Amino acid sequence: MNEDNVCYAKSSPAAALTWITLAFFAGFAGVSAYGPILAKLKETMAMSPLLIGLLASCPALTGSLLRIPFGAMVDRFGGKIPILTLLGLAALGVAGITLMFAVAPSPTRVHYPFFLLFGILCGCGIAVFSVGIPSVSYWYPQNKQGQALALYAGLGNLAPGLFAVVLPSMVVALGFIFSYVFWFVILALLLLLVWLFMKDAPYFQYRQMGIEIEPDALLVACGEELIPSGNAVASIRKASADWRTWALTFFYFISFGGFIALTVWLPTYWVELFSTSLVTAGLLTALGADPRGKGALLDTYVQRNALVVGFVMGFAIIPIIYTIAEDALSAVPDHLRAASLGAGATPWQTAVRIVLPTAMSGLFSAVMIGLGRAVGETMIVLMAAGNTPILEMNIFNGFRTLSANIAVELPEAVRGSTHYRTLFLAALLLFAMTFAINTVAESVRLRFRRRSAQI
């Protein structure tokens, strides 16, 4: 066997994925330890909503802020050092919470800064997620990274729901101090196992051994296709110049960030609003139940509701969108399709890269006309929504749109009264919203049209 084809790096992709995912679990173990204590702290400290909100949000905020610098550290140090650092800080946070309950079983407002500090430390575990993504990616070739990252993120994200059930049950059965001592031991054990068995990707192991190896040789010997690109700051600047990075950041912020925040927030409100036990609150949190009661996303059921309106309006606007979209796709010149197929592109590639960009102006116009049809509809919404003059998040409750409200109440309003002027203000607001949306839509449509003209 050629010595150039021998990989001197230890571990394997499967083992690395296992230990990195376990580290992700351990990171969530740190932040999950913070949820069950909030209800008790609010009761004993008599805190204002602002202070309890700050206390509840500090782990998620810390984890969010640390993701970028620690994720960038992977390109320089590998994944092991950042992961161990974050897990160590999270373990210190759990140890601090344990110590505080041992010193002060019923904490007062004097202890608030300490719990805030330990909450910040517990939140460090969340940042393990952003460290694990490049760490897993370095171990796998690009054609297998999707599957590996899906396993990593999918299994790792089971941790918050699992811990939301397990830890409150332990607190009820064993008490705060013993439960958090046990939780700290588990976290410390996971930290030790990661330190002993987790290995960096082959590129970083070769660098630690002082061996210089070409990327092609590294791919042949160890199967590692990706290597650090160089300056982490330059990479961040390059990524920040792409608008898609900010779009992904926004959606990640409101989805994953909200998911983490609710993991901490929901148990407190289940206990506060419904006087449930910690175990029940943890179970309901793991199931994703909404504790807000009246006005929540899922609450009372009314036969004529927003969900019915959505279905009815969907059927009403589909023919319009379909007809205009079909015309837009049919208008794409056949020679563009033929040229793409002749150049060796598949029918799917031709549709995605040639036909859709060329017809995008018409497709966008179809969607906007359908949206305008839905927003401007009055009678369907009025009848299907039950003409209910309320505004709630509950999709099984009725509502009343601005246009329907004007149509129903204007004939009964006294001329010159506050009610009369309010209805005209609603009409002006509806006009302003329509004008703004149409202006933006026309600008986007013209931009798509200019792009299609360049093809």
Same domain as 233, residue 149 = yes
CA torsion through residues 304, 310, 315, 319, sign: positive
**The domain that contains 222 carries what CATH number?**
1.20.1250.20
**Is 299 inside a domain boundary?**
no
Interval 72-91 mean pLDDT: 88
Same domain as 351, residue 259 = no
Residue 283 is predicted with a pLDDT of: 60
Q: H-helix or E-strand containing 47?
A: none
**Is 298 inside a domain boundary?**
no
What is the share, in percent, of the chain residues with pLDDT greater than 70? 78
Q: Is the pLDDT of residue 454 over 60?
A: yes
Computed over every residue of the chain, the mean pLDDT equals 78
Same domain as 334, residue 256 = no
Same domain as 322, residue 241 = no
Q: How confident is the model at residue 2 (pLDDT cuts 50, 70, 90)?
A: very low
**Is 296 inside a domain boundary?**
no
Higher-confidence residue of 338 and 251: namely 338
- Domain boundary residue among 240, 256, 287? 287
Same domain as 312, residue 268 = no
Task: Write the DSSP symbol of residue 355.
Answer: I
- Domain boundary residue among 223, 253, 287? 287
Same domain as 58, residue 23 = yes
The two tokens of residue 366 are 């179809």
Using CA atoms, how far apart are residues 221 and 205, in angstroms rounded to an integer? 13
What is the share, in percent, of the chain residues with pLDDT greater than 90? 2
Using CA atoms, how far apart are residues 159 and 147, in angstroms rounded to an integer? 19
Same domain as 351, residue 281 = no
Interval 302-325 mean pLDDT: 81
pLDDT digit string, tens, across residues 106-123: 888 888 888 888 888 888
Count of CB atoms situated within 10 Å of the CB of 30:
33
Same domain as 126, residue 58 = yes
Residue 85 is predicted with a pLDDT of: 92
**Is 297 inside a domain boundary?**
no
Higher-confidence residue of 441 and 380: namely 441
pLDDT digit string, tens, across residues 260-313: 666 666 666 666 666 666 556 666 565 555 555 544 444 555 666 777 777 888
Same domain as 225, residue 370 = no
pLDDT digit string, tens, across residues 236-258: 677 677 777 777 777 766 666 66
Q: Which of 99, 279, 327, 89 is nearest to 172 (CA)?
A: 279
Pure H helices in 198-242: 202-208, 215-222, 232-240
What letter represents residue 335's amino acid?
Answer: H
The two tokens of residue 323 are 């007809």
Same domain as 347, residue 260 = no
Which residues form the domain of 360?
Answer: 306-453
* Domain count of the fold of the chain: 2
- Domain boundary residue among 287, 315, 330? 287
CA torsion through residues 437, 438, 440, 445, sign: positive
Same domain as 111, residue 61 = yes
Count of CB atoms situated within 10 Å of the CB of 311:
10
Q: How confident is the model at residue 164 (pLDDT cuts 50, 70, 90)?
A: low
- Contact at 8 Å (CB) between 369 and 321? yes
Same domain as 310, residue 277 = no
Using CA atoms, how far apart are residues 126 and 26, in angstroms rounded to an integer? 9
